[in-house]
């Protein structure tokens, strides 16, 4: 069975905490309140900032905040940023990389499954889990 990575899990926890807060908040506070390792959360915040999902501000009233509204942050975007393409098989994630692809009788089924999973997960936003 496939699971989301710790990177994805902690990123969603971080984003959810920011969605529930008003304005900028310290990562140390979020890490402490959610029992997450601060250094790990700090690295994730950097990746999320580079992707345009978070913004930061320095100073006494600084910290991190969402750069978008929670309804505009799709969880599939976070999942794929942290874990790469979400797919049930290699041929649906990166076509042309499987040596069996040309004669595989399962590829049409994996492709259908991939489309359905991706479509379903794409319906979830940060707002829908906050």
Q: Tell me the whole-structure pTM to 2 decimals.
A: 0.86
pLDDT recorded at residue 19: 96
Helical H runs in the chain?
Answer: 6-20, 27-33, 38-50, 75-83, 90-93, 107-121, 126-129
pLDDT confidence tier of residue 2, bands split at 50, 70 and 90: low
How many other β-carbons are positioned within 10 Å of the β-carbon of residue 105?
Answer: 7
Distance separating alpha carbons of residues 95 and 71, to the nearest angstrom:
31
Sign of the Cα pseudo-torsion (42, 32, 121, 97, in order): positive
Q: What is the mean pLDDT of residues 109-130?
A: 90
Around Cβ 36, how many Cβ atoms within 10 Å? 19
- Cβ-contact 40, 14 below 8 angstroms: no
- The better pLDDT of the pair 90, 57 is held by 57
Q: What whole-number percentage of the chain has pLDDT above 90?
A: 63
């Amino acid at each position: 069975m496939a699971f989301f990575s710790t990177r994805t899990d902690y990123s969603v926890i971080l984003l959810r905490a920011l969605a529930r807060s008003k304005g900028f908040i310290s990562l140390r506070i979020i890490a402490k309140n959610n029992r997450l390792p601060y250094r790990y959360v700090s690295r994730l915040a950097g990746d999320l900032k580079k992707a345009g999902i978070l913004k930061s501000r320095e100073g006494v009233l600084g910290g991190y905040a969402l750069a978008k509204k929670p309804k505009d942050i799709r969880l599939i975007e976070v999942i794929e940023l942290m874990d790469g393409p979400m797919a049930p098989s290699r041929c649906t994630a990166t076509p042309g990389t499987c040596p069996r692809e040309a004669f595989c009788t399962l590829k049409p089924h994996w492709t259908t499954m991939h489309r359905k999973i991706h479509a379903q997960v794409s319906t979830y936003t940060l707002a829908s889990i906050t």
